[in-house]
């Protein structure tokens, strides 16, 4: 028997006894699960976007006004 | 009059069409339409959870891995080359995330010696299939990391060697060699157990029933 067909036979044996695949097939039809799954990811994506916008807003603020503000705060305290 | 009868669409054409569709969505995301990402999630979520499950063996953990992988893909979309396959890229992230998750949790696969062997001599039953399936899974889990990855991607996910090579970040021939070596090891283990069973039990039906009958029949 050639090595190639030997590999094919072993592959078929594994596929025919794929008990995990059967369990996963049941999950495939669980519409609720997948709907929930998509929503969870999209909520996380939204959070990433909000954080990105906040970071950009911070970066766009001028550096010097922040420093002068800190200095004036410091003087007030003194 | 045109007819679609006899027109065959090749796997390659399907793959190209799918990649083109993905690229369209990715472009939309890149210009700020983050909602377009839901199209990619819907398209690949089942495959991604399935793939993660093959490595972590727990549906809750597989879901976490898939969620993390999608999020990583979204966050690093700028580094994704549009000409490449999004599916392969996402699978690469998923496999790496699953392996890291396993490492973090110090999860250990059960050793080969613990795997159930020598099942009852009867016709193919659900129980027997489960036993054989678990036994083969244990053998796959015991393979060296890269061989195991190649076997899982090829046998369970039916990916091409080119896709496997992309996911494993290795040359085509290396992916193929890892798959072949892995499969050969499994075959040898199955045969070794057959021999062992033969030596300890004279009832021939006993050693033939461990799922290896398929192998013996095909090779005779």
For B44, phi and psi rounded to 5 degrees?
-110, 0
pLDDT at B203: 42
- List the single residue in A with minimal CA-CA distance to B32: A49
Q: Say if pTM beats, i.e. exceeds, 0.90.
A: no
Write the ipTM.
0.70
Chain B contacts of A19, Cβ < 8 Å?
129-130, 133-134, 137
- Interface touch A6/B74, C-beta < 8 Å: no
pLDDT (average), residues B143-170: 94
For residue B6, pLDDT beyond 90: no
Chain A contacts of B63, Cβ < 8 Å?
37
Would you tell me how many other CB atoms lie within 10 Å of the CB of residue B155? 23
pLDDT at A2: 60
A19 vs B35, residue with greater confidence: B35
- Interface touch A5/B218, C-beta < 8 Å: yes
Own/partner long-range contacts of B168-177 (Cβ < 8 Å, ≥24 apart): B168/B92, B168/B95, B169/B92, B170/B146, B175/B150, B176/B150
Please check whether residue B114 is in contact with residue B138, taking contact to mean a CB–CB distance below 8 angstroms: yes
- Counting residues of chain A whose pLDDT is more than 70, the rounded percentage is 68
- Counting residues of chain B whose pLDDT is more than 70, the rounded percentage is 74
pLDDT band at B163 (very low <50, low <70, confident <90, very high): very high
Q: How far apart are CA B130 and CA B135, in angstroms?
A: 8
Q: Identify which of A1, A11, A19 has the shortest CB distance to residue B219.
A: A1
């Amino acid at each position: 028997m050639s090595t190639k067909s030997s590999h094919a036979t072993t592959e078929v044996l594994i596929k025919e006894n794929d008990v995990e695949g059967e369990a996963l097939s049941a999950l495939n039809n669980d519409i609720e699960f997948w709907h929930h799954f998509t929503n969870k990811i999209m909520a996380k994506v939204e959070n990433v976007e909000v954080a990105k916008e906040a970071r950009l807003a911070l970066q766009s603020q001028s550096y010097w006004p922040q420093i002068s503000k800190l200095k004036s705060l410091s003087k007030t305290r003194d | 009059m045109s007819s679609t009868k006899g027109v065959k669409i090749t796997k390659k054409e399907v793959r190209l069409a799918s990649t083109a569709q993905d690229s369209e969505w990715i472009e939309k995301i890149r210009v700020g339409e983050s909602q377009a990402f839901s199209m990619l999630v819907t398209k690949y979520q089942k495959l991604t959870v399935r793939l993660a499950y093959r490595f972590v063996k727990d549906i809750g953990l597989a879901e976490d891995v898939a969620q993390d992988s999608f999020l990583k893909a979204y966050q690093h979309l700028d580094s994704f080359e549009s000409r490449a396959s999004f599916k392969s890229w996402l699978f690469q992230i998923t496999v790496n995330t699953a392996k890291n998750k396993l490492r973090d949790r110090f999860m250990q696969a059960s050793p080969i010696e613990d795997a159930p062997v020598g099942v009852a001599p009867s016709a193919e039953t659900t129980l027997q299939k489960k036993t054989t399936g678990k036994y083969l899974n244990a053998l796959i889990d015991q393979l060296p990391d890269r061989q195991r990855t190649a076997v899982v991607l090829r046998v369970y996910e039916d990916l091409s060697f080119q896709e496997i090579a992309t996911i494993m970040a290795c040359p085509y021939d290396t992916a193929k060699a890892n798959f072949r070596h892995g499969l050969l090891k499994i075959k040898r283990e199955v045969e070794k157990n057959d021999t062992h069973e033969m030596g300890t039990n004279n009832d021939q039906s006993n050693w033939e029933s461990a799922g290896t009958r398929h192998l013996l029949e095909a090779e005779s």
